[in-house]
Homo-oligomer: A and B are copies of this chain.
Amino acid sequence: MPKSKFESIYKELKKDIESEKLPYQSLMPSENQLIVRFSCSRNTVRRAISMLAEEGYVQPMHGRGVRVIYTKGTPTSFLIGGIESFHESAQRNAMEHTTRLIRFTELTADEHVSRRTGFPVGTELYFIQRVRSLDGDPCVFDINLFDKTLVPNLTKEICIHSIYDYIEQELGMQIVMSKRQITVERITQIDEDNLALNGYDCLAVVSGQTFNSEGVMFEYTESRHRPDYFCFQTTALRHREKPEDTSEM
């Protein structure tokens, strides 16, 4: 169960929207109505609504109401997003998944590794390469670098199962925030050796850093996806920035 009130309100409204009890383009009940329905304060319903707005479920209109803009997606390809383990993504997409460990070594960050990953020079790391298969098809090449002092005692068995499970359940560390960037890169020899590329000469690459609840970076990761299994979804609000003074007319 959700611990907090705003979260349970958020989830209930979200369910109403996804089930189309509140259909696309309709207006949500007003804040005052929601206050009565959930018997809570205005701040609390507003918090729930703003979470829905950030996710692209609704759009508040000043003085008019809150419009539902959620539409059911069409997940034809493998949907990744957020901070998810491969396990979680695979389960969400209801696909069978296996993992093959290619490399499991240790490494000390030098200047080059540091610039690329963000780990300070000298950090002791685990260096892991894995191939992920979906329904028997090897289509993701995963590279992980973990800070050895923050994620100690990794084993090959853990790497084959789920490292995130180990971190969260065994070590009790909380994974909170990730910064990711998405690029498209030409395949390398090691991609070609390990993945079924189906003639693609590029891969979708999601790379970035992961932080724990203390705001300390403990992982650098790079996932190289075969294009046909890759789809990343996102929503964005436009913050109209006044362009200061660029002397351009």
CA A220 – CA B215 in complex, angstroms?
A: 38
B-chain residues with CB within 8 Å of residue A216 when the two chains form the complex:
25
CB atoms of A181 and B235 under 8 A apart: no
Look across to chain B and name the residue whose beta carbon is closest to the beta carbon of A237. Answer: B177
**A238 at interface, CB cutoff 8 A:** yes
Copies of this polypeptide in the complex:
2
Smallest CB separation, A159 vs chain B (Å): 19
CB atoms of B175 and A238 under 8 A apart: yes
CB atoms of A183 and B69 under 8 A apart: no
Q: Which of B56, B71, B77 contacts A177 (CB 8 A)?
A: B56
CB atoms of B180 and A211 under 8 A apart: no
CB atoms of A231 and B182 under 8 A apart: yes
Look across to chain B and name the residue whose beta carbon is closest to the beta carbon of A70. Answer: B179
B-chain residues with CB within 8 Å of residue A81 when the two chains form the complex:
236
B-chain residues with CB within 8 Å of residue A233 when the two chains form the complex:
179-182
Interface residues of A in 179-234 (CB under 8 A from B): 179-186, 200-204, 211, 213-217, 225, 227, 230-234
CB atoms of B235 and A179 under 8 A apart: yes
**A130 at interface, CB cutoff 8 A:** no
CA A175 – CA B215 in complex, angstroms?
A: 34
CB atoms of B227 and A25 under 8 A apart: no
**A44 at interface, CB cutoff 8 A:** no
CA A56 – CA B91 in complex, angstroms?
A: 27
CA A58 – CA B211 in complex, angstroms?
A: 11
**A102 at interface, CB cutoff 8 A:** no
CB atoms of B184 and A69 under 8 A apart: no
CA A200 – CA B58 in complex, angstroms?
A: 39
Mark A residues whose CB is within 8 Å of B: 25, 53-54, 56, 58-59, 61, 64, 67-69, 71, 77, 81-83, 91, 118, 168, 174-186, 200-204, 211, 213-217, 225, 227, 230-238, 240, 246
Nearest 5 interchain pairs by C-beta: A67-B215, A184-B227, A202-B202, A59-B215, A83-B238
